[in-house]
Amino acid sequence: MEFIVEKIGMSRTISVPSVPVTLLKVKDAKVCEIFEDGRAIVAYSHGKRKNKPIEGQQKKYGLSPEYNRFATLKVANSEAGDIDISVLENAKKIKSSFTSKGRGFAGVMKRWNFGGGPRSHGSRFHRRTGSVGNCEWPGRIQPGQKMPGHYGNEKITVQNEIVSFDPENKILVVKGSIPGPNGALGRIRIVK
């Protein structure tokens, strides 16, 4: 089963020893249409988004204007309506997919954790890449060479244990960290 969640942030348990946890809020969602293979079109709300195609979908499925985003998920529901979150109460592990924080164009020290050169005494090699060539053969830079470039803003999937679930507030507490900034939307999938 899959769910759309919003990352609230990180905290820790008050037990001894303390465990770092991430809080996730399961978004209110409605199942619009179910296909034969168990997947379904799910509508959920996030931010302001209003255009003609979305208004048409809202009209087609009889949704209120707050449900302004759509996704295809595997759900436990057998018919259209509110998404069934009761399966999260007995779950032990989840896989979560989020987009990591984008850091823009980054150098090799930030992107690949290179050591850099001496900081003083006339050195001209502080935070630079260093040598990248290979003499006469192969006479070019090999594919996969660690170089400066775009860092972050990519989909990352991690597996976490569930510490607790509050069905009333729809807050899921998972052990460890999850990629992305606070307030980011992502998907979670129950792992058997």
Q: DSSP string covering 143-175, please? A: TT---SEE-S-SEEEEEEEEEEEETTTTEEEEE
Question: What's the mean pLDDT in 84-113?
Answer: 95
Could you read off the pLDDT of 20-39 as tens digits, one per residue? 999 999 999 999 988 888 89
Kindly list the structural domains of the chain, giving each domain's residue range(s) and its CATH number in brackets, ordered by start: 2-102+155-191 (2.40.30), 103-151 (no CATH)
pLDDT (0 to 100) of residue 192 = 82
C-alpha span between 158 and 98 (Å, rounded): 9
Measured from the Cβ of residue 88, the count of other Cβ atoms closer than 10 Å reads 20
pLDDT (0 to 100) of residue 37 = 84
Count Cα atoms within 13 angstroms, Cβ side, for 39: 6
Measured from the Cβ of residue 85, the count of other Cβ atoms closer than 10 Å reads 17
pTM of the model as a whole: 0.85
Torsions phi, psi of 8, nearest 5? -85, -50
Find out whether 73 and 40 touch, Cβ atoms under 8 Å.
Answer: yes
pLDDT (0 to 100) of residue 49 = 73
The percent of residues in the chain predicted with pLDDT above 90, rounded, is 65
